[in-house]
Amino acid sequence: MEPDDPFHQLVSELDYPMFIVTATAGERSGCLVGFASQASIEPPRFVVLLSKLNHTCGVAARADALAVHFLTRDDRELANLFGEETGDRIDKFARCRWEPGPFGTTVLPDTKGWIAGRVRERVDAGDHVVHLIDTEVTHLNRSGRPLSFQDVRDMKPGHPAS
């Protein structure tokens, strides 16, 4: 997509909240994502889209469950680690605090909070894969203003965005 394309111009000004998604299936992986949202109130479901170029997408394809971490502006360093580095080259989890989570997930306890649940469905969405998650466990650590796309717009991603 060209920067002067009208669609790109419209969506580049949106201010999505940013999340870290972790997947565990024989190995741990995680990445920073902006394509995510609550998908249902009852039952509680959440949807995340992972770029097919991202190391985490391959691990998530084999994982039964995912953990989605909510971030605040105080989590910029962690966002940099999961957004600018790639699991193809480094073990991001060796550089941060993590814990085993429910359903075999990996959770980052120093974030605003997290949800974990089994993947209900995966859908090919083009250059991303949709993961619909049954939100089965929710953990809240602290409050704070969400970290947004505009806050991290200057990052150099570990993989191209698409």
Is residue 7 within a helix (H) or strand (E), and if so which, with residue range? helix 6-11
Is residue 114 within a helix (H) or strand (E), and if so which, with residue range? strand 113-124
Over residues 57-77, the mean pLDDT reads 97
CA distances from 161 to 75, 105, 113, 120 (A): 21, 24, 25, 25
Can you give the pLDDT at residue 3?
66
Round the average pLDDT of the chain to a whole number and report it: 92
Over residues 112-130, the mean pLDDT reads 97
Can you give the pLDDT at residue 1?
54
How buried is residue 117: exposed, middle or buried, by Cβ count under 10 Å (0-12/13-18/19+)? buried
Q: How far apart are CA 34 and CA 105, in angstroms?
A: 20
